[in-house]
Every structure is written in C-alpha cells, then in structure tokens.
C-alpha cells in the first residue's frame, strides 16, 4: 500500500514538473554581457527619420527601448534585435516579461525564409505599466513584406523588440524572453 502511494506521488510530481515534449527555453534574461548579443537600429537605414536608443541595465536587468518613431520619409520604426539559432521543436509561443507606457509594441521574428530586409513575422502586444508576463502564440505572428511560408520554430533566426508603424514616443522594456 505504501509503495503504491509513493508511486502515485512520484507520478503526480512528474506531471506537475512539466509536460513531456514541451519546448520551454530561455532566450534572454539580460545577464552575462547582453549588449554583445543585441543590435539597435532605426528606419534611418532606409532614409527614415526615427531616433532612439536601446539601453541594457537596471533591476531586474532589462532592455529599455525609447525614442521618437516618425513615419516621415517612409520611415516608422526603432528596434533592438538579437540573432538566434532556431527554437526547439514543439515551441508554441514566446513569453516576454515587459513593462512600458501602455502603448502597442511588436515582436518581429525573422527566419530562414525572410531573405529581404522588409520581410518578418510580427505579433503585437500592449506594454503594461508594471512588469507582467505576456504570451505571444507563434500562430498569432503574421507575415509581412511578401508571401512567406508558415513560421517554423527551428527556422527562426532573430527576435526583435520594435516600436513601429505610427508617429509616437516609444518607452518599453523587456526583462526576459522565453518560449513555451
């Protein structure tokens, strides 16, 4: 009887510890020299007028994206991007721990299929005033910049935090990026 109870407790603990095949992975927690992994750029690369910065630091360590997004001269974005080498099979979502000014921001993913600079997959989120976890299902990312195949986790090559698409002052921070 005791052995059967112990076996049930072990089984229950194993089930609570995680679902087999679940693709949880930490992409970034902004420790261990994150500045070497992130690049900041604006629409100035194509003649736009947006300006800003991405600063890494603080408590908890985070990336803080701020600036002026301008749609003048066919512009309209500032972003910080990290190169990655795919996500695990079975990944169904990205998770962010974020805060900001209550405005809409985006995560852009590039993959082996996004060969042109204006191609990406995009999901939007509203940056809450206080740190909160945000889940972005991969099925909710939409292709932009031309006809692209469905997004495959193993093919993802970069993740970016983006202020995009309208004239506004940007103020958003992310302290953690992971997968489900």
Residue 104's pLDDT is what?
Answer: 98
Instruction: Give 118-162 pLDDT, tens digit per residue.
Output: 999 999 999 999 999 999 999 999 999 999 999 999 999 999 999
Q: Which residues are registered as beta bridge partners of 124?
A: 106
Domains annotated for the chain, with CATH where assigned, are: 22-179 (2.60.120.430)
pTM attached to this predicted model: 0.86
**pLDDT beneath 50: ranges in the chain:** 1-21
Beta carbons of 87 and 151 less than 8 angstroms apart = no
The residues pairing with 42 across neighbouring beta strands, listed in sequence order, are 78
Instruction: Give the separation between CA 87 and CA 107, rounded to whole angstroms.
Output: 15
Predicted pLDDT of residue 23? 60
- Token pair in block for residue 125: 């989120």
Q: Please, what's the b/e burial string for 88-110 (b: 16 or more CB within 10 A of its CB; e: otherwise)?
A: eeebebbbbbbbbbeeebbbbbb
User: Taking a C-beta distance cutoff of 8 angstroms, is the pair 99, 119 a contact?
Assistant: no
**Are the beta carbons of 51 and 68 closer than 8 angstroms?**
yes
pLDDT of residue 126: 98
């Amino acid at each position: 009887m005791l052995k059967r109870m112990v076996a049930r407790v072990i089984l229950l603990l194993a089930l609570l510890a995680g679902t087999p095949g679940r693709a949880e992975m930490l992409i970034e927690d902004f420790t261990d020299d994150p500045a070497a992994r992130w690049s900041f750029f604006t629409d100035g690369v194509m003649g736009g007028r947006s300006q800003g910065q991405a600063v890494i630091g603080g408590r908890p360590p985070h990336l803080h994206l701020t600036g002026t997004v301008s749609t003048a001269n066919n512009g309209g974005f500032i972003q910080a991007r990290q190169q990655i080498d795919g996500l695990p099979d079975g990944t169904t979502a990205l998770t962010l721990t974020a805060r900001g000014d209550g405005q809409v921001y985006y995560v852009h993913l590039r993959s082996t299929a996004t060969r042109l600079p204006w191609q990406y997959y995009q999901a939007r989120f509203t940056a809450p005033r206080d740190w909160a976890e945000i889940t972005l299902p991969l099925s909710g990312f939409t292709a932009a910049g031309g006809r692209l195949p469905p997004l495959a986790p193993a093919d993802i090559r970069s993740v970016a935090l983006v202020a995009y698409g309208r004239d506004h002052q940007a103020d958003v921070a992310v302290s953690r990026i992971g997968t489900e």
